[in-house]
Amino acid sequence: MGAWGVKALESDTGLDFLIDVEYYIKDKLNDQHKASITLSEIITLAKKTDWLNQNSDDCNSDDLDYTYDSTAMAIVETYLNYHRKEGLEAYLDEEETIHLWRDCVVEFLADEASLTYLLQHLTAMQQSQTDEREYVELWRESNSWNEWLNHLETLITAIKNELAK
């Protein structure tokens, strides 16, 4: 599976997606080397680059690619880490990349529609009872299933809290 922990950012897929986000941010930097990003922009980027299903109504389907579920979790983890001021340093190994997130991204905004989309996606993962959802099934078959499920529930709760603000 290419994972060393239960978080999506503790996997090759999650970190590969984060690299695409970093290129996107670099393209957005203004003259002062600052950028504002939104959750909507990141979701749109993910759909355009096939990290998420382009049909936004399909997040409840059990027949989704492994990458879509991993990416949805990675987006939420990235957003929450940014706002919790935990930073992304634990997942990044290059000083330039750490600088980009810590010093250049001045805000990471969310809108209700984006939070709702991600909540629906993660809730569908949580409620999946079939083996058609590959990402969930791989975790279900692992020794870390309960830990992964607890992490997923933590992300869902965090999104609900963001929506309640």
> DSSP states of 22-74 as a string?
HHHHHHH--TTS-EEEEHHHHHHHHHHTTSS-S-GGGGG-S---HHHHHHHHH
Please tell me the predicted confidence (pLDDT) of residue 63: 46
Please tell me the predicted confidence (pLDDT) of residue 62: 46
pTM: 0.89
Please tell me the predicted confidence (pLDDT) of residue 99: 77
Domain residues for the domain of 108 are 8-164
Residue 128's alpha-carbon distances to 96, 114, 131, 137, 162, in angstroms, are: 39, 21, 8, 9, 24
Asked, for residue 29, whether it belongs to a domain, the answer is yes
Asked, for residue 3, whether it belongs to a domain, the answer is no
Asked, for residue 1, whether it belongs to a domain, the answer is no
Asked, for residue 2, whether it belongs to a domain, the answer is no
Number of domains into which the chain is organized: 1
Asked, for residue 137, whether it belongs to a domain, the answer is yes
Please tell me the predicted confidence (pLDDT) of residue 73: 96
Residue 78's alpha-carbon distances to 64, 81, 87, 140, in angstroms, are: 22, 5, 8, 23
Per-block average pLDDT, block size 10, for the chain (165 residues)?
A: 86 90 90 92 94 68 72 95 73 71 89 96 87 85 95 97 94
Please tell me the predicted confidence (pLDDT) of residue 157: 97
